[in-house]
Amino acid sequence: MEITILGIESSCDDTSAAVIRDGVLLSNVIASQAVHAQYGGVIPELASRAHGQNIVPVIDAALKEAGVTPAEIDGIAVTRGPGLLGSLLVGVSFAKGFSLAQDTPLMEVNHLQGHVLAHFVTRPGEEEAPKPKFPFLCLLVSGGNSQIVLVRDYLDMEIIGTTIDDAAGEAFDKCAKVMGLPYPGGPLIDRLARSEGADPHAFKFAKPSVPGFDYSFSGLKTSFLYFLRDRVADDPEFIEHHKTDLCASLQATIVDILMNKLVRAAKQYDITEIAVAGGVSANSGLREAIEAAGERYGWTTYIPPISLTTDNAAMIAITGYYKYLREEFADLSMAPAARAAEM
C-alpha cells in the first residue's frame, strides 16, 4: 500500500509544505520571508503574520506539484517545536483543521529530529543513494542549535552534546553583524572566506574549553567583538581591509570547534557512520572538514543536499512517515512547544 504524507514546517521564518510518498519526495515548496532582512534578525510577530499569509498558497502549490488531492493524503505531519510560538501555531492550527476535515491522522514532529531524518528523504531518481546506517552520529548545526546526536533508530535519538549558549549559526550571524554584513551572515562569511588569497590562519580567536561533548560559542563572539573594537580604534578601515582574512579565520575557528568534539565523540562511541544536518551544514569549510576527517578516520560521511539542510517540510514529512508506520499519532489537543524540553 502506498503511503502519502503531507508535511508542514513553520517554526521560524520559512513557510514550507512537502509531499512524500513511501519516502520519495514529490514536492517541497518553501516561501522565505524577506521582511526580516531590514531588521538584521527574525521579528517573531512579522514571521507569524507572513506564515498566516503564506500557508494556504504554499500547501496548495505543494499538493499541485506533487499531483495529489487532499483526499489522497494518508497523514499530515507538522512541526510542533522548538521554534517561535506564534509561527508554530499557524502550521499546527492548519494541520489540525486539515486532519479534521480529511479525517486523516495527525503526526507532531520535533523540528530537530526532522533535521536528522532529512537524510532519509529519497529524491526522485536517487533511489540508490546511500543512507546512514544505525547507529550513526549526526552533527546538527543550525541557527538555533549545535548538537551531536546519537541516532540508534529513526525515532530513537539521544543528544550527547549540545550548546550551552549560542549556536554555531548564531556565531556566524552575530560575528557577521559586528563586521557590518547583512543578515543572515553565515552564507556571506562562507563566500568571503573562499575568496582568492583569504588566509584562515591570519587571525587567532579564542576557543572554548567545555567538558564532554557540549559546545559554547558566546565566548568566541565576545572575543571577536573586542578584537575588532581594538583594531578599529587604531585603524577605522581595518574591517574593510581584512574582511576576507577575518571571515576565513573565523570560519576556520568555528569549524575547528565543531570538528574537535565530533571526532572525540566518534572515537568514544566507536562509530564511523557520520552525518551532518541543519543550515550550517551548507558551510563549505565544514563540508570539507567532515570529508577530510572521513578519510583520516575511516568514516562513511553523509552530507545532505543544500535544499534539505535549511528549514524545509520534506524533513517533517519523512519524520511523519516513520511515525505513521508506527501509528504514533497526535490528537487535536496537541499544542505547539517553543522549547524542545517542553515536548
- Per CB under 6 A, residues contacting ligand KG4 are 12, 142-144, 169, 172-173, 184-187, 190, 278-280, 282-283, 310-311
- Nearer CB in complex with ligand KG4: 105/186: 186
- Nearer CB in complex with ligand KG4: 63/112: 112
Q: Taking the complex as a whole, how short is the minimal distance between the CB of residue 16 and ligand KG4, in angstroms? A: 11
Q: Taking the complex as a whole, how short is the minimal distance between the CB of residue 171 and ligand KG4, in angstroms? A: 8
Q: Taking the complex as a whole, how short is the minimal distance between the CB of residue 213 and ligand KG4, in angstroms? A: 20
| Closest to 28 measured CA to CA, from 6, 2, 3 | 6
- Nearer CB in complex with ligand KG4: 75/82: 82
* Ordered alpha helix ranges (H), the chain: 44-66, 85-102, 111-117, 168-178, 185-193, 218-234, 238-269, 284-297, 314-325
Are residues 240 and 104 in contact, defined by beta-carbon separation less than 8 angstroms? no
| Strand order across the 300-302 sheet | 156-162, 146-153, 136-141, 273-277, 300-302
Q: Taking the complex as a whole, how short is the minimal distance between the CB of residue 56 and ligand KG4, in angstroms? A: 23
Q: How many residues does the chain have?
A: 343
- Nearer CB in complex with ligand KG4: 62/247: 247
- Nearer CB in complex with ligand KG4: 150/193: 193
Q: Taking the complex as a whole, how short is the minimal distance between the CB of residue 233 and ligand KG4, in angstroms? A: 28
Are residues 330 and 159 in contact, defined by beta-carbon separation less than 8 angstroms? no
Which residues touch 50 (CB under 8 Å, ≥6 apart)?
A: 13, 15, 31, 33, 35
Which residue of this chain has its Cβ atom nearest to ligand KG4 in the complex? 279
